A and B are shown apart, each in its own frame.
Chain A
Amino acid sequence: MSDRTETTHARTRRLPQINPVWLLLAALVAGIILMNPGFVEPTGYMNFLKRAAPLAILAAGQVYVITSGGFDLSVGSLITLVVVGSSMLTNNDPAATYWVIPLMLGMGLGVGVVNGLVVCFLRVPSLIATLGMMITLNGLAFLWSGGAPRGYLPDTYRFFGRELVRDVPLVGFIPVSVIVLFVVVGILAWLMHRTNLGRQVHAIGDNPVAARLAGVAVNRVRITAFMLSGLSAAIAGILLGGFAGVSTDVGSGYELQAITAAVLGGAQLLGGRGSVFAAFGGALALTAIFTLLNFLGLPQPVRQVVQGLILIAAVALAMHRRKQTGT
């Protein structure tokens, strides 16, 4: 984000290049405020951020895989497996949370490692590899819970999704999930835009052969990208487990929403370009669209149609801009 100031200096007399996702988000938020003035109160926007948190975290992880040139379709079913698995393992015992959460994070990393290994060493395109993983994990979630998950998660587990930090100056309260959101997005953005790992992720997505010749350990970087995506899915699953009850379809549809959010943020499919902050903005924009449609009283099917139109329009616009700027 900070290079923007440099580019404006370099090319004077040109409007600063603002990622259009922020303009979209601003317009949507203005629309929401118009519909519902209560949105400017902390309860309004904090609830909004809380609702957007799982998707935003997921998008921030997904952007690593997309930038490296792949897809991760397994995140939605990984969320389901995390929620179902947690409810089976904790078994209503509040003390179990302390080992279940690290175990779930480890499982997210493990799924990412398997995805990465299959793509790198079995040379299966990530679309198919993570699709297979999605089907497998969904089956595992059903298998584990016997088809009908029971009970609910203990309050200690739901802490991350449900609790608020009260008596904060300025805003009054902050949901724990929003803190998790900012910490995760901050770390992922730092990794992506301030470290060698991020540069290498961009490099292997842009041109894997050139990256390998330049000395990038392509396989290791790719596996790391899948691990970060898996980890973000596990975190999103833990938050979602705190929001709502246990079911076998908590995660369904999230993989597509995460890809949509990353693409809205200008990430280039098939690699080479992507920003964690912009994906975060994309996730907020997507959630804002759904919120707005809710306020307008539009039913679920319309949400689907709008999501489809936005997805196509965002990519078409990005391609148009790229053609114009010649990059």
Chain B
Amino acid sequence: MSGSEGAPPHKTKSGFRLERWAPLILLGGAFAIYVGVVLATGQAQYLTFDNLIAILGRSIALGITAIGQTFVILVASIDLSVASLISATAVLASVIMDGSPAMILPAVLAAVALGGLVGLTNGLVVTGLGVNPLIATLGMSLIIQGCLSAFVSNFAGSVPAEFQVFAYGRLGPFPLALLFLLALACLAWILLRFTKFGSDIYAVGGNEEAARFAGIKTRRIVVLSHVICSVCAVIAGLYLASRLRSGAPWIGADGVYDLESIAVVVIGGTVLAGGRGGIWGTMAGMLIFSLIDSVFNVAGVDSFAKQVLRGIIIVAAVAFYAARSKRIVA
């Protein structure tokens, strides 16, 4: 343990810090593998600009959810209710719209209100009742999914063509949704990097007690982070409804958005214990995920074997950062 470097404290300041560059290294590695596989199988058509954009387009819902998840993980909380919330908003929005363009605004408002309510409840149960966030949001997930499947069992409602622009519209060569994701990421980055709220989030995640003693209203920060996370899940749900042209009660669970968004955030270098990480890491994590998927597709890996490899890759990617730390984890 101590033989390798001795790790004097000043070394971390000037020296190369792996944690900081790990998302980029992993991303570079994933991209190199992608290019390698494409060239090795002689399918150079997969290297075009359009195709790379298409790869990104496939993981937009995951990216939006992961941005929200980053906020809660930064405050050392977690949100497992995003997948069922995604299903619920997709169904709610598409039922309210029911093909009529006039109802787009009410549907979006209703969905955002639902997300705000869910996030507020999650946050209050976690902070007020002191329930472990894993359990609180898991319970919330069961409640939402139960309520949803009590009413709906198939595709419900329909989304008017005007709203499908969200998923299918293009601005020049770029899909509208991709630009939206980029804008959302920038917004989140500005919020975390340049505002008081952002630095409060890092403070609460790093050491809640110290943050409270420093005069930060820690509970409010945690609740707000949960609201942000739920609203991001709502946006992802709206995007999926727009893409599938209708909402179904299984789209969130099918995409495993709860666990995958957590995996994306963690692969992006945000620490589950809170206080360290950021949005661009999460974006890198999302890119890594979609590149891995594309590698499997290009290489023609069997879909079950794909799943096996996926599980191993998630663990390996996290181990890539964590293996060097000396902390005891559980």
- The SS class assigned to the B binding surface is helix
- Taking a contact as CB atoms under 8 Å apart, the answer to whether B307 and A138 are in contact is yes
- Taking a contact as CB atoms under 8 Å apart, the answer to whether B136 and A135 are in contact is no
Given A123-B329, A127-B272, A323-B130: A132 and B311 interface contact (C-beta under 8 Å) = yes
Given A205-B330, A316-B130: A263 and B307 interface contact (C-beta under 8 Å) = no
- Taking a contact as CB atoms under 8 Å apart, the answer to whether B142 and A304 are in contact is yes
When distances are taken between beta carbons in the complex, the residues of chain B under 8 Å from A136 are 307-308, 310-312
By size class, the interface of chain B is: 35 or more
- The complex places the Cα of A18 from the Cα of B168 at a distance, in Å, of 60
- Select the stretch in A27-35, A105-113, A306-314 that faces chain B: A306-314
Closest to A142 in B: B304
Per-position contact with B for A125-144: 1 when CB-CB < 8 Å, else 0?
11111011111111110110
B94 CB-CB contact with A under 8 Å: no
Complex interface residues of chain B between 96 and 138 (CB less than 8 A to chain A): 125, 129-132, 134-136, 138
- Taking a contact as CB atoms under 8 Å apart, the answer to whether B138 and A143 are in contact is no
Select which of A135, A222, A316 is within 8 A of B307 by beta carbon.
A135
Complex interface residues of chain B between 135 and 186 (CB less than 8 A to chain A): 135-136, 138-143, 145-150
A232 CB-CB contact with B under 8 Å: no
Closest to A136 in B: B311
A99 CB-CB contact with B under 8 Å: no
By size class, the interface of chain A is: 35 or more
- The complex places the Cα of A142 from the Cα of B147 at a distance, in Å, of 30
B55 CB-CB contact with A under 8 Å: no
A319 CB-CB contact with B under 8 Å: yes
Given A122-B322, A208-B328, A269-B135: A304 and B305 interface contact (C-beta under 8 Å) = no
Select which of B134, B145, B319 is within 8 A of A118 by beta carbon.
B319
- Taking a contact as CB atoms under 8 Å apart, the answer to whether A308 and B319 are in contact is no
- Taking a contact as CB atoms under 8 Å apart, the answer to whether B146 and A301 are in contact is yes
Closest to A138 in B: B307
Q: Known contacts A70-B330, A269-B132; can you find 13 more A-B pairs with CB under 8 A?
A: A119-B330, A123-B323, A125-B329, A125-B330, A128-B315, A138-B311, A259-B135, A301-B145, A301-B147, A312-B129, A312-B136, A315-B135, A319-B129
A-B contact pairs, 9 of them (CB 8 A): A125-B318, A126-B329, A127-B272, A135-B311, A139-B308, A147-B304, A259-B135, A304-B149, A311-B142
Q: List residues of chain A with CB under 8 Å of any chain B CB.
A: 68-71, 118-119, 121-129, 131-140, 142-143, 147, 204-205, 208-209, 212, 218, 222, 256, 259, 263, 269-271, 299-312, 315-316, 319-320, 323
Q: List residues of chain B with CB under 8 Å of any chain A CB.
A: 125, 129-132, 134-136, 138-143, 145-150, 259, 262-263, 266, 272-273, 302, 304-312, 314-315, 318-319, 322-325, 327-330
